[in-house]
Amino acid sequence: MSLVTEIDNFAATTNHPTPSSEIRFDWTRSEILELLDQSFSDLLFQAQSIHRKYFDPNKVQVSQLMSIKTGGCAEDCKYCPQSSHYSTGIDAEKLVATDAILGEATAARDGGASRFCMGAAWRDLKDRDMEAMVEIISGVKSLGMETCMTLGMLSDSQANTLAEAGLDYYNHNIDTSPEFYGNVITTRTFQERLDTLERVRDAGMKTCTGGIVGMGESRSDRAGMIEALATMPKHPESVPINLLIRIEGTPFEQNEDFDILEFVRTVAVTRITMPKSWVRLSAGRDSMSDEAQALCFLAGANSMFKGDKLLTANNVAEDKDKALLKRLGMEFS
């Protein structure tokens, strides 16, 4: 008898609900709120049951993130230290040389990362930078790594060129619910984000898109963010769930601490509604206790960033990650 069968039998004899194994694209806000409103133990039971149907629960996919063009972004995202609208001590820099990027990618690969993610602080990708992007993608792919980029909004032709160059994933977060979005960003619309993701899918690349919690949104907004992701024509292959980092100089600097158990609930419902997606613990992980991270893994998170830095924010030291996973009987995949 398999472990999944044992779990299902246990649920049947103890009146615990178990989720359907059906992959759905018609989730409603009310259904997602019902999941979020469950008792914590029932919710985690469902999430872990679903997780085990599609993934090895003791494996964590590892990516490494590099800022290849830092600062000076024209967007006014209220959480972002790279926005030119705020004084955060981060200056605008030029695009990093290709050789330097490939050196970082090589070190990431040798350190156990299977995917190299590259972020540029642009509102949108300019055609003049496309040749450099193609060269970078080709170089990282030659190292035997998956590639991911976040470069802002894309046109149809740009998406197709990136796909032809071999880009595996394109990151373009929706950040929050459609209703709360205007409280976070005013320089581009929620629909513009969806349009870029559609271009990425149409070009044949995988989407990496998620959001941020702790920006002052309601639980209904968190449900709305998940609804927007889980009702896409194809579920995002990678869903990063970020905890707001309150950066000095940004409008969200004084936001209140976010309830970590609510963060775990968000991870769990993400897993239930998008069973085959990689659910990544992203920004804010360095502020979480080992116990909080362990709960996130129990809730179905199975991806993380390694390395001491994300784009500009601190990340958990790699030796701490390895020590925690060893204590949990888990390992990098």
Q: Annotated active-site positions, please?
A: 73, 77, 80, 117, 148, 208, 280
CA–CA separation, 262 and 242 (whole Å)? 12
First to last CA, the chain: 26
For residue 117, how many other CB atoms are within 10 A of its CB?
28
Cβ atoms of 307 and 65 within 8 Å: the answer is yes
Cβ atoms of 120 and 152 within 8 Å: the answer is yes
Using CB atoms within 10 A of its CB, is residue 191 exposed (0-12), middle (13-18) or buried (19+)? exposed
Q: Token pair of 86, please?
A: 């705020």
Name every residue whose Cβ is closer than 8 Å to that of residue 126 and which is 6 or more positions away in sequence: none
Cβ atoms of 51 and 18 within 8 Å: the answer is no
Cβ atoms of 259 and 287 within 8 Å: the answer is no
Using CB atoms within 10 A of its CB, is residue 2 exposed (0-12), middle (13-18) or buried (19+)? exposed
CA–CA separation, 301 and 293 (whole Å)? 9
For residue 284, how many other CB atoms are within 10 A of its CB?
22
Secondary structure of 104-116 as H, E, C letters: HHHHHHHCCCCEE
